[in-house]
């Protein structure tokens, strides 16, 4: 029987840090399910469908990783339920720094209480990728900084396109609002 691990995360967007954890997981497990979370309480830059597409493009087109060993899916359920669905006995979680550990430790404990047969394995990416976070990468991109050290080529393009599109939306919205307010003042 093939061993399967679940690697859940928001991946908004997936970074070289995430990819490093996936590559290390593939050395241990026959199959890794990369599960992009859809949490309605979070404000994502990319939709769930966009994130799944970005992950697939990054792993399979940019990096040419083995499609038969990696499954990429969206999910909006308990990770434990996902483990049952894919017959996985392990959840992979990436750690960057000590500050990540408290939250991850609590999460692993809750998952263990929900299903004692599921283990959580913490993995660290290589040193050069440990500082990378999706949040910081998005901030750097918003300020027109270089992000190609943190993301694969296709993601760099998609992130820049998304941020450019958002600029136009904001510009349109504020221009339209200004015009409406101006017309109201004239008419009243």
Give the active site residues.
18, 42, 96, 134
CA angle 152, 153, 154 (to 5 degrees): 95
Tokens standing for 15? 């970074």
Strand order in the sheet with 70-75: 70-75, 31-37, 4-9, 90-95, 119-124
Asked if residues 6 and 35 have their Cβ atoms less than 8 Å apart, the reply is yes
The Cα–Cα gap between 180 and 188 comes to 12
First to last CA, the chain: 75
């Amino acid at each position: 029987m093939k061993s399967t691990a679940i690697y859940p995360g928001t991946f908004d967007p997936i970074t070289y840090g995430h990819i490093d954890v996936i590559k290390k997981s593939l050395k241990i497990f026959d199959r890794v399910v990369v599960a992009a979370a859809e949490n309605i309480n979070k404000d994502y830059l990319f939709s769930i469908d966009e994130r799944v597409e970005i992950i697939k493009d990054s792993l399979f087109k940019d990096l040419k990783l083995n499609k038969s060993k990696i499954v990429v899916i969206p999910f909006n359920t308990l990770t434990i339920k996902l483990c049952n669905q894919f017959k996985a006995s392990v959840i992979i979680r990436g750690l960057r720094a000590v500050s990540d550990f408290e939250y991850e430790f609590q999460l692993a404990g809750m998952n263990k209480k929900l299903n004692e047969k599921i283990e959580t394995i913490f993995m660290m990416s290589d040193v050069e990728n440990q500082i990378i976070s999706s949040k910081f990468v998005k901030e750097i991109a918003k300020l027109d900084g270089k992000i190609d050290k943190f993301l694969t080529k296709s993601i760099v393009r998609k992130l820049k396109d998304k941020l450019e599109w958002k600029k136009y939306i904001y510009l349109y919205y504020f221009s339209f609002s200004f015009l409406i307010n101006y017309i109201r003042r004239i008419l009243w």
